[in-house]
């Protein structure tokens, strides 16, 4: 079952169960997917949908931090709920050792030998680890490995 089909089925389930918060969050996700499909005039595959979900997750995390800092716990709780719901649609996260192996393989594959080659390594890893690892953490690992190379 494709990711988009799964989301649509979950919308129907939320409607039947009268779960307003879940339904609202899922409708926002479907709207973001549909908007990207209309803008680019393509049918999104699972990898592209994961990219949309990651973008929405980043927005939710940023909003959560701002609301929490402002003492707006009611709004922060809503953002946290939506982030948790979106996270359920991401592929299983990789373990730290698997990420380290992927970084080492990408460095060897691209022939990177210093910080100037970080862009090539990150482009390789970004496609391989999309949705399965925090790209910021991967970037930090690559920077450390290339600084020591």
Mean pLDDT, each 10-residue run in order, the chain (149 residues)? 94 97 96 96 90 92 95 95 94 87 89 85 85 84 83
pLDDT attached to residue 149 = 54
pLDDT attached to residue 135 = 82
- Other CB atoms within 10 Å distance of the CB of residue 117: 16
Runs of H (alpha helix) within the chain:
3-17, 20-40, 46-69, 73-87, 96-110, 118-128, 135-148
pTM of the model: 0.74
Task: Looking at the structure, give the CATH architecture of the domain made up of residues 3-87.
Answer: Orthogonal Bundle (1.10)
CA distance 94 to 35: 29
Q: Which numeric CATH code is attached to 96-148?
A: 1.10.10.410
What residue has token string 């946290």? 80
Domain definitions of the chain by residue range? 3-87, 96-148
pLDDT attached to residue 83 = 95
The encoded tokens of residue 139 equal 């970037």
pLDDT attached to residue 19 = 96
What residue has token string 């393989």? 105
């Amino acid at each position: 079952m494709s990711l988009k089909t799964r989301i649509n089925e979950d919308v129907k389930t939320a409607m039947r169960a009268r779960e307003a918060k879940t339904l609202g969050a899922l409708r926002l996700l479907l709207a973001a997917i549909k908007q990207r499909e209309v803008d680019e005039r393509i049918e999104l595959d699972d990898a592209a949908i994961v990219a949309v979900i990651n973008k929405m997750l980043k927005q939710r995390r940023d909003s959560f931090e701002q609301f929490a800092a402002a003492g707006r716990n009611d709004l922060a709780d809503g953002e946290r709920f939506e982030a948790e719901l979106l996270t359920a649609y991401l592929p299983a996260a990789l373990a730290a050792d698997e990420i380290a192996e992927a970084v080492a393989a990408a460095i060897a594959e691209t022939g990177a030998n210093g910080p100037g080659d970080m862009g090539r390594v990150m482009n390789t890893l970004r496609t391989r680890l999309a949705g399965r690892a925090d790209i910021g953490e991967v970037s930090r690992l690559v920077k450390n490995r290339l600084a020591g190379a």
